[in-house]
Amino acid sequence: MVFVRKVPTASGATAVQIAERVGDRDNVIEHVGSARTPAELVALLEVARARMHPGQGELELTMPAGPVRQGVITGKRCALLWQVLTSGFRELGFHAVGDDAFEQMVLARIVEPTSKADSVRVLEEIGVEHASLRTMFRSLKRCQDRGYRDTLAAACYEHASTAGDLSLVLYDVTTLYFEAEDEDALRKVGYSKERRVDPQVLVGLLVDRNGFPLQVGCFEGNKAEKATIIPIVTAFAARHSIEGMVVVADAGMLSAANLRELDEAGLRFIVGSRVSKAPIDLASHFRWHGDAFTDGQVIDTLTPRRGRNKDNDPALRGRAGVGARGA
């Protein structure tokens, strides 16, 4: 790095030099001169700076004569933020719906998760020219009439299948409650982990292994969570003609009927469950080998389609063909 330095000399003067820092030493590039008075020092410093940056002018920052007035902000715009959001919206293929008001409302609620009516304020604050509030409300009806969900689902699938792998998907459910007293055909009072008694809806979301959304579904608020996985997964598989997909879900989705339907649909599954609720074939492994596991261990078991599994019967322990199967 080149810089101007001042060095006192033995004669009492101040030497002005242009130097360069190399490692832990200063190498002198040019000796500009020696100053004996403050005025000479100022002049030599100006000469040194000019030689370091030849041809570089200076901005004229002197204020004009006359009274000084306060600046007035006539407008503002978060151009970079809006450019990033709109670019992402189009890169994902969501612009295929062809509805500017819908796009503005969606992106405004990403900037600030507020009400649909208040999204106009958000757009105005970031300086975006927007559709009227009534036009935005009408876009919700267009969502239903024109099948925006199918269009967006197709765009999500196109992006996920191009950018990643859909051999494994994950499913989970959440609830959205409404501050309303009356129920309707969709908003029902049901099980709430937050112990709420407000009407709610269930939202089921299917994502790829990276968490990118693939399919979403909305169900009545009093519907059991485990009754939502089959409609979402089978609809996604049928829509895109997918076979051999592995579905991952948590213990809340564990039911014999669900696993049987996934198996009948030709889909494999990974279901998380507590060790205390392990099915009979895993209970056999725990009985004969204990419940201690090593990281990455895989247990290979056989589950009979009908009848009882007798692997836990101590009287049959050691007979040919009977016993826990582990790997």
Any idea where the domains of the chain sit in the sequence? 2-52, 76-146, 165-273, 277-316
pLDDT recorded at residue 201: 94
pTM score, whole prediction: 0.60
Q: What is the pLDDT of residue 179?
A: 85
pLDDT (0 to 100) of residue 67: 75
- Return the pLDDT at 170: 92
**284 to each of 52, 270, 290, 292, 323, how far by Cα in Å?**
82, 19, 9, 14, 8
Closest CA to 219 of 197, 200, 234, 247: 200
Structural contact between residues 216 and 201, judged by C-beta atoms closer than 8 angstroms: no
165-273 is classed CATH 3.30.420.10? yes
- The span from the CA of 2 to the CA of 20, in Å, is 4
Token pair, residue 318, equals 């050691």
Instruction: Quote the DSSP letter at residue 29.
Output: E
Q: Does residue 245 contact residue 167 with C-beta atoms inside 8 Å? A: yes
Mean pLDDT per 10-residue section of the chain, whose length is 327 residues: 86 89 85 89 88 71 72 84 95 93 94 91 93 91 90 92 86 89 89 87 92 91 88 88 84 75 80 63 72 75 56 49 37
Residues with Cβ within 8 Å of 189's Cβ and at least 6 positions away in sequence, in order, are 183, 197, 198, 199, 200, 221, 222
